[in-house]
Structure 1
Amino acid sequence: MILKVALAAFSLFLCSSATSLAADIKYRGWVTLKVGESIVLKGVRNADCDNTVPSWDHVRRGLPRSKLGVFSDGGAGTVQSKSCGNKRVGARGVRFKARKTGTEQLSIFSDGVRVTVK
């Protein structure tokens, strides 16, 4: 009985892990936020188009500086990548948290993102 419960729990864990990876991360080229709000701006994939999700440390090092907010880990998911033959690949979300009012244009891994904070 204990073994059955353990196997059921492990199966549930595997299913929830697969579901979290399957979450599609949308690219947002233009956002308006209030101070204190946050949003996932885009997903960053590995250069070799495999399904491995890049680490937050790897993604963090490639991000620009922002005068209006801070970036953090937006979690694992997938993106539909034209550069990878229009297939869905693993990606790391880039979350932006608004800290100061204003507008700025950012380039996040070659994609433009216009951020307005009110």
Structure 2
Amino acid sequence: MEIYKQCIQAKNNELVELTGIGLRRAIEFLVKDYGIFMLDHSETDLTKEKISRDSLYNAIQDVFKDDTFIFDLIDESRWIGNNKTHYTDTSDDDSINEMFDFIEAAANLIVAKLTSLKARNHRNERSKKND
């Protein structure tokens, strides 16, 4: 979250070159933190070590393989962010704004999934009390 906040500050200060690079890093933390958190809430052969060591591309493939909405948002953000780190940037002029839009949408979907898990846990606890 701190990286993302700094990216907003960089954008507000017109530090466009740093904003894209920072957003690319923020995406990696979002994907890997979420993937590691979800290990306890899903059946998978992934491990914390694999997610941590994977390239961002592979982590996205592993963590969001069953969620095309989040996958598309995160992977396109990754592509734009990678372009921002290279000598020649092939992304368009509005790509930083798109990255913010894509990351925000993905984060909102992730929050919705986590909130749904919380609701499921509440329901399960309530069911146990009623048995």
Normalising by structure 2, we get a TM-score of 0.25
Normalising by structure 1, we get a TM-score of 0.27
Q: Larger RCO: Structure 1 or Structure 2 (Cα < 8 Å, ≥ 6 residues apart)?
A: 1
More helix by share: 2
